[in-house]
Amino acid sequence: MDWWTGVDGILIYLYRITGWTMIDYFIGTLLLAMIAVLIGDFTTSLVYRANRSYFRNLNSRLGEMHNSSMVALRIKDKAGYKAVNREANDTFGMLFFGMFGLSASYLWPAFFALAWMQSRFDGIKFPLFINDWTSSYFLTFLVSYLLARFAFSALKPYLPYFKHVMNEREEKPEPAVAAGEKAV
């Protein structure tokens, strides 16, 4: 037995809870979406913890660059200002694409869930309440995933592991204060 068949045997139980086909489908899809959200958040937390010092250094460097550019502006050093801003843009690009890669780790389980749903529910159409329109498994999973994401974000501060992961204060750079200015 390969791993995909083993996963299939486990996931199909999510769709056999009540014995009523349509209710089981929607409950199972919501549970599958919640599992995808949990795995995605857990993966993101691991990736973030592995790269936390890198992100902190980039944020710190951005703050330093901002301070330097404000000093260059104040003393009207246009060449120095441009050089510092070029460096800051490079640093921001590294931080931006690092965070972009980090955000991809939220979504990878959803693609596996959709692949599994395709193997089980491809070709099955679900009636919508508007006219004669129908929907496939993709739309029901997408709505369930969004609901699971919203529910998880509301519950996250109360969950033991997730409430300490990626503390917002760690991600945001300290407010930049140029030399001679007071912090507010």
Answer whether residue 149 is part of any domain. yes
What's residue 166's pLDDT?
Answer: 55
Lowest mean pLDDT among 10-24, 39-53, 75-89, 159-173: 159-173
Structure tokens at 16: 């056999």
- From residue 169, alpha-carbon distances to 103, 153, 154, 175 in Å are 18, 17, 19, 11
Which band of pLDDT confidence, cut at 50, 70 and 90, is reported for residue 118?
A: very high
Q: Which domain holds residue 87?
A: 27-171
What's residue 129's pLDDT?
Answer: 75
Structure tokens at 35: 């599992």
Average pLDDT (100-124) is: 93
pLDDT of 168 above 80: no
Answer whether residue 1 is part of any domain. no
> What is the chain written as a DSSP string?
--HHHHHHHHHGGGG-SSS-HHHHHHHHHHHHHHHHHHHHHHHHHHHHHHHHHHHHHHHHHHHHHHHHHHHHHHTT-HHHHHHHHHHHHHHHHHHHHHHHHHHHHHHHHHHHHHHHHHHHHTT--EE-SSTT-EE-HHHHHHHHHHHHHHHHHHHGGGSTTTTSTT-HHHHSPPPP--TTPPP-
What's residue 184's pLDDT?
Answer: 42
**C-alpha–C-alpha distance, residues 98 and 77, integer Å:** 31
pTM of the model: 0.78
Cα angle 163-166-169, degrees, rounded to a multiple of 5: 100
| Number of structural domains found in the chain | 1
More confident residue, 180 or 16: 16
Lowest mean pLDDT among 99-103, 135-139, 164-168: 164-168
Percent of the chain with pLDDT over 90: 46
pLDDT of 20 above 60: yes
Answer whether residue 182 is part of any domain. no
Place of tokens 């994401």: 149
What's residue 154's pLDDT?
Answer: 92
Answer whether residue 76 is part of any domain. yes
Answer whether residue 13 is part of any domain. no
**What's CA 40's distance to the chain center, in Å?**
7
Answer whether residue 22 is part of any domain. no
pLDDT of 33 above 60: yes
Answer whether residue 20 is part of any domain. no
